[in-house]
Amino acid sequence: MFLILFTVILSRIAPLVIFPLFYKFKPLENQTLIERIQAFAAKWNLKISGTYQFDLSKNTKKANAAFTGIGKSKRIILGDTLLAHFDEDEIMTVFAHEVGHYHHKHLLKGIILNSMITLVGLWFAARIYAYILQLKYFNPAQLEALPYLALIFLFYGLVTGPLGNMISRKYEFQADQFAVSSSGEADSFKNSLKKLAKLNLSDETPHPIIEFLFYSHPSIQHRLEKL
């Protein structure tokens, strides 16, 4: 229950307290883009506290945009690399993708899913760990017992990791479809995906097993095929 509460609080304060520790945020300077973003957000009943740009380029050439926060801390953040390499139509489709996550309630679903996975994992780990302690004649204070606990979580993660990634990829496909249908800019969104793949040095055609096990986002090839 503490972990669930911590997750919600972290989602609430991250844009206001944590992200500014690593990046410098300032209000978006492009007034035309601000107006387009605000109009699109209003169309889908999305209330945001503001639209900001941040200095992502200080660490990487990757481009990124995100819809962050919950409640009154909801805001749109755009990396300066995105603003530098994408035109307004392309940026709007990337924004539309993020609104798609909001429209389909992916953040809320993600919190619930991760909370359930954590709850079940802790329940199993507690019982298996207690069995190992009894089998090996360890007491809970012995350091020799801790590697067994690490192994329990490792094997649990090997099962739940791909499951979580599979659900995440489904959410990304849904947000992609929303971006195209809501903006009417299929070509601009496809161009955005290609640019993102190039700037982020993504493997556009990973091996299917690698994608299944480790990719929280579908490969660019699969995203374009779906579109």
DSSP helix/strand/coil, 53: strand
Reading the block at residue 146, the tokens are: 């801790």
User: Order of strands, edge to edge, in the sheet holding 51-54?
Assistant: 25-27, 51-54, 75-79, 65-68
Question: Which of 29, 35, 88, 98 is an active site residue?
Answer: 98
**Residue 29 is a catalytic residue:** no
- Report the 3 state secondary structure along 143-205: HHHHHHHHHHHHHHHHHHHHHHHHHHHHHHHHHHHHHHHHHCCHHHHHHHHHHHHHHCCCCCC
Which residues does the annotation mark as catalytic? 98
